[in-house]
């Protein structure tokens, strides 16, 4: 009997590639399913600054300005350029932005897998695949993926990992003798790594840690840190330092990461850093609860008990160094990568989100790779004969992670859902209560707005925005004295911020407008005038303020000034009915009857809402019927307009029938006027509107006496 044919190595290779392809497709599908709620979500929080209210995304000039410093909230021009491209493709539809974030996250996972395979970590391809899959599916990354503004994380992650892979290829190939075109190709990988690294920095400067991370990788590979090997990393260190310093400057000078909230001593910052270094790995191991804004820790360096976190970090670090010296390098290098990558957010530098919380899930997007790799590769290393068991356990956990990611993604449906979920998990999140109040104001739910804002002020009594928003909620409820008291609190706090150099004086322009509205409502016209003028002095040509001021000037019978204000407003909104009607009234009072007729007609033509159409048409009827200038007065046209209004309501409006009666009387058609009044009187009485009925009855008597008096 002959020996069996040997197995074909090509068949084994094809089978392995097929399995890898199937696994990769499965991970992609599972990740997309896990992020389905995010794909169907809208915009949240500062997405308006980055996308929805960002005028730079609308034209070609904006694309050029994106690359100029201080034109965007942070200098990440690559991120804003992607937003610009997407804005041209699908406008403000959020689905496309969310989809790109998910796809970028998947690309990062694929690059991570390729890097880990290249590094030959314990467990080989299986371990690398599990690490990449956990990275793709872990719920701690939902904040980075589901929040469109955090394109910074997912995009910089792609460039960071691609740059790392290119540099590792360069370093490996450089050790192989090469000449001519081969040598040029090797340096091409180096050039590509530098370009990708620059793009990473211009997406998010936290990627400045890449050259340090590459040194850790070389240590893991047991490659000597020669002058040549470190020398090629020097440009990366220089570029990374420049980007980091620029971001620190922008955070401090333009984003607002300074002030009393950041007045922390070194001991405070050391405690924050140590607690953060323990917090983030624990969220990888046990991702519950995940909160958009975690409670902000209170540091008490004088209490020795609070130093437990520093002791824990020092103990862990000592143990890791001991293992490293014993030849077990992986744990130290993995956690050194984690600590080095998350270092910019540990509290040693002012970062604006620290005003709310010292930790955030999106701070550890790339850093989490170190912890995930340590756990999974460590399991393969500890149980070298149980790789299938470890793989099976890891694969079994993936659907659990996907389910957790799906659930976490649901809170990003819209801004209100996000803030409600945040205060449910962290009731002390004062910023969330304020934002809920602001959203309720926008929705005209004034009672809810007041409740949310008062809850915010219970937690943070010195919150400027909450006092300002509360004042607006009270003003809209016509509780003007309370609104004034709340606004005075806001103005006092705002002035303190200006005095400390946190904000420019223009910061209070909106509040002075509010002050004018409140004083106006209280009848304090001189105070209202001063407040409006102060607002316009701080920020000129703000149309709503111009409008409010013009209304006040009109009430003060300063008609020329009022008219100028309304005309400026019309330059911005040519069809504004209230401004047109006001200009008509001013012109009529100044006996400029031809101008008045023009404005009344423009107002009637511009009106769209039913109430607006009725109001403007009624004004036009009155003016045409009783205008003192015979050349402008057109009583028959007034009757015709009134008849059209009556017909439009099928003769069922007592007010319009009354209007028709008055127009008929002005045209000398008294019998028809009395008949219209009879019909109006019947309808008014049927509707139990007795005050209106009494007025119509009095007018009817005038018509019967052939008197045309417009009341």
Note whether 432 and 507 are same-domain residues. yes
Mean pLDDT for 654-683 is 94
Name the pLDDT band for 84 (thresholds 50, 70, 90): very high
524 Ramachandran zone, left/alpha/beta (phi>0; psi -120 to 50): beta
Dihedral sign (CA 666, 668, 669, 671): positive
pLDDT at residue number 8: 54
Note whether 436 and 474 are same-domain residues. yes
Name the pLDDT band for 196 (thresholds 50, 70, 90): very high
Q: What is the percent of the chain with per-residue pLDDT over 90, rounded to a whole number? A: 84
Contact 44, 412 (CB under 8 A): yes
Mean pLDDT for 565-575 is 89
Mean pLDDT for 300-324 is 96
pLDDT at residue number 322: 97
Name the pLDDT band for 184 (thresholds 50, 70, 90): low
Give pLDDT tens digits for 619-651. 999 999 999 999 999 999 999 999 999 998 899
Instruction: Tell me the DSSP string of 161-179.
Output: HHHHHHHHHHHHHHTS---
Does 601 have pLDDT greater than 80? Answer: yes
Rounded distance between C-alpha atoms, residue 661 and residue 696, angstroms: 9
| pLDDT, greater one: 682 or 541 | 682
Q: Which of 354, 382, 410 is the last residue of a domain?
A: 382
Note whether 365 and 332 are same-domain residues. yes
> Is residue 494 assigned to a domain?
yes
Give pLDDT tens digits for 32-48. 999 999 999 999 999 99
pLDDT at residue number 687: 92
Mean pLDDT for 375-394 is 94
Q: Which of 515, 540, 565 is the last residue of a domain?
A: 540
Note whether 272 and 250 are same-domain residues. no
Name the pLDDT band for 5 (thresholds 50, 70, 90): very low
Note whether 431 and 378 are same-domain residues. no
In 3D space, the residue among 371, 365, 370 whose CA is nearest the CA of residue 286 turns out to be 371
What total number of domains does the chain contain? 3
Q: What angle do CA 168, 103, 85 make, to 5 degrees?
A: 100
pLDDT at residue number 13: 67
Note whether 487 and 530 are same-domain residues. yes
Contact 206, 341 (CB under 8 A): yes
CA distances from 514 to 165, 510, 563 (A): 56, 6, 22
Mean pLDDT for 294-298 is 94
> Is residue 701 assigned to a domain?
no
**What's the distance, CA 136 to chain centroid?**
24
Does 251 have pLDDT greater than 80? Answer: no
> Is residue 130 assigned to a domain?
no
> Is residue 19 assigned to a domain?
no
Q: What is the percent of the chain with per-residue pLDDT over 70, rounded to a whole number? A: 95
Q: How far apart are the first and last CA of the chain?
A: 122
Domain that holds residue 194: 163-256
Name the pLDDT band for 261 (thresholds 50, 70, 90): low
Cis peptide bond N-terminal to 289, omega within 30: yes
> Is residue 7 assigned to a domain?
no
Does 10 have pLDDT greater than 60? Answer: no
pLDDT at residue number 16: 78
> Is residue 74 assigned to a domain?
no
Give pLDDT tens digits for 418-432. 999 999 999 999 999
Note whether 533 and 425 are same-domain residues. yes
Note whether 230 and 176 are same-domain residues. yes
> Is residue 89 assigned to a domain?
no
List alpha helices for 175-325, DSSP H: 181-201, 210-220, 227-231, 234-250, 266-285, 308-325
Of 13-22, 220-229, 400-409, 573-582, which has the strongest mean pLDDT? 400-409
Q: Which of 493, 522, 540 is the last residue of a domain?
A: 540
Rounded distance between C-alpha atoms, residue 139 and residue 281, angstroms: 13
Q: Which CATH number characterizes residue 444's domain?
A: 1.25.40.10
Q: What angle do CA 630, 574, 512 make, to 5 degrees?
A: 110
> Is residue 251 assigned to a domain?
yes
Mean pLDDT for 249-278 is 81
Q: Which long-range contacts (CB under 8 A, 24 or more apart) does 83-92 make?
A: 83/50, 83/51, 83/54, 83/57, 83/151, 84/56, 84/57, 87/51, 87/57, 87/58, 92/51, 92/52
Please tell me what DSSP assigns to residue 254. Answer: I
Note whether 244 and 271 are same-domain residues. no
Mean pLDDT for 518-547 is 95
| pLDDT, greater one: 4 or 60 | 60
Does 182 have pLDDT greater than 80? Answer: no
Note whether 276 and 185 are same-domain residues. no
Note whether 272 and 358 are same-domain residues. yes
Note whether 317 and 375 are same-domain residues. yes
The overall average pLDDT reported for the chain is 93
pTM of the shown model: 0.87
């Amino acid at each position: 009997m002959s020996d069996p044919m040997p197995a074909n190595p090509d068949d084994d290779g094809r089978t392995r590639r097929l399995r890898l392809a199937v696994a990769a497709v499965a991970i992609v599908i599972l990740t997309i399913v896990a992020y389905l709620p995010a794909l169907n979500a809208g915009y949240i929080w500062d997405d308006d600054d980055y996308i929805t209210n960002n005028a730079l995304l609308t034209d070609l000039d904006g694309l050029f300005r994106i690359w100029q410093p201080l034109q965007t909230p942070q200098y990440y021009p690559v991120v804003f350029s992607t937003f610009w491209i997407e804005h041209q493709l699908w406008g403000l539809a959020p689905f496309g932005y969310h989809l790109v974030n998910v796809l970028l996250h998947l690309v990062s996972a694929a690059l991570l897998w390729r890097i880990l395979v290249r590094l030959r970590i314990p467990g080989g391809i299986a371990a690398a695949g599990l690490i990449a899959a956990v990275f793709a599916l872990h719920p701690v990354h939902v904040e980075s993926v589901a929040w469109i503004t955090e394109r910074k994380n997912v995009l910089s992650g792609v460039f960071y990992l691609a740059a790392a892979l290119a540099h590792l290829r360069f370093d490996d190939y450089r050790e192989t003798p090469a000449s001519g075109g081969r040598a040029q190709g090797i340096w091409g990988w180096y050039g590509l790594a530098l370009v990708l690294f620059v793009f990473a920095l211009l997406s998010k400067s936290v990627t400045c840690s890449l050259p340090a991370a590459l040194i850790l990788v070389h240590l893991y590979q047991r490659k000597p840190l020669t002058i040549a090997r470190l020398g090629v990393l020097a440009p990366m260190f220089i570029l990374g330092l420049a980007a980091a310093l620029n971001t620190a400057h922008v955070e401090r000078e333009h984003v607002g990461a300074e002030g009393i909230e950041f007045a922390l001593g070194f001991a405070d910052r050391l405690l924050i850093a140590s607690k953060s270094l323990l917090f983030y790995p624990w969220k990888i191991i046990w991702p519950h609860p995940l909160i958009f804004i975690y409670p902000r820790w209170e540091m008490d360096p004088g209490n020795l008990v609070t130093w437990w976190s520093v002791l824990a970090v020092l103990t862990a670090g000592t143990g890791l160094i001991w293992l490293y010296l014993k030849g077990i390098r992986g744990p130290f290098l993995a956690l050194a990568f984690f600590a080095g990558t998350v270092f910019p957010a540990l509290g040693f530098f002012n970062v604006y989100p620290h005003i709310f919380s010292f930790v955030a899930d999106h701070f550890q997007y790339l850093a989490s790779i170190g912890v995930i790799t340590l756990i999974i590769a460590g399991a393969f290393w500890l149980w070298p004969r149980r790789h299938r068991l470890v793989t099976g356990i890891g694969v079994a956990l993936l659907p659990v992670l996907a389910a957790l990611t799906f659930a976490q993604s649901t809170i990003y449906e819209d801004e209100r859902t996000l803030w409600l979920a945040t205060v449910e998990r962290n009731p002390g999140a004062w910023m969330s209560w304020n934002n809920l109040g602001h959203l309720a104001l926008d929705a005209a739910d004034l009672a809810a707005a007041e409740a949310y804002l008062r809850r915010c002020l219970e937690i943070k009594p010195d919150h400027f925005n909450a006092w300002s928003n509360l004042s607006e909620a009270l003003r809209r409820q016509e509780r003007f004295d309370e609104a004034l008291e709340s606004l005075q609190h806001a103005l006092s706090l705002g002035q303190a911020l200006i005095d400390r150099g946190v904000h420019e004086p223009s910061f209070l322009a909106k509040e002075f407008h509010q002050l004018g509205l409140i004083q106006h409502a209280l009848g304090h016209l001189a105070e209202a005038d001063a407040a409006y003028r102060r607002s316009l002095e701080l920020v000129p040509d703000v149309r709503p303020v111009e409008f409010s001021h013009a209304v006040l000037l009109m009430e003060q019978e300063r008609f020329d000034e009022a008219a100028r204000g309304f005309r400026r407003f019309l330059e911005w909104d040519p069809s504004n009915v209230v401004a047109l009607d006001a200009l008509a009234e001013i012109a009529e009072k100044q006996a400029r009857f031809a101008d008045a007729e023009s404005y009344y007609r423009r107002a009637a033509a511009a009106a769209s809402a039913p109430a607006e159409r009725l109001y403007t048409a009624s004004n036009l009827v009155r003016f045409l019927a009783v205008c003192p200038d015979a050349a402008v007065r057109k009583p028959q046209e007034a009757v015709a307009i009134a008849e059209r209004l009556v017909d439009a309501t099928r003769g069922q409006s007592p007010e319009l029938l009354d209007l028709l009666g008055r127009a008929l009387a002005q045209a000398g058609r008294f019998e028809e006027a009395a008949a219209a009044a009879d019909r109006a009187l019947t309808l008014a009485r049927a509707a139990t509107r007795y005050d209106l009925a009494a007025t119509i009855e009095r007018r009817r008597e005038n018509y019967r006496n052939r008197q045309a008096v417009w009341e």
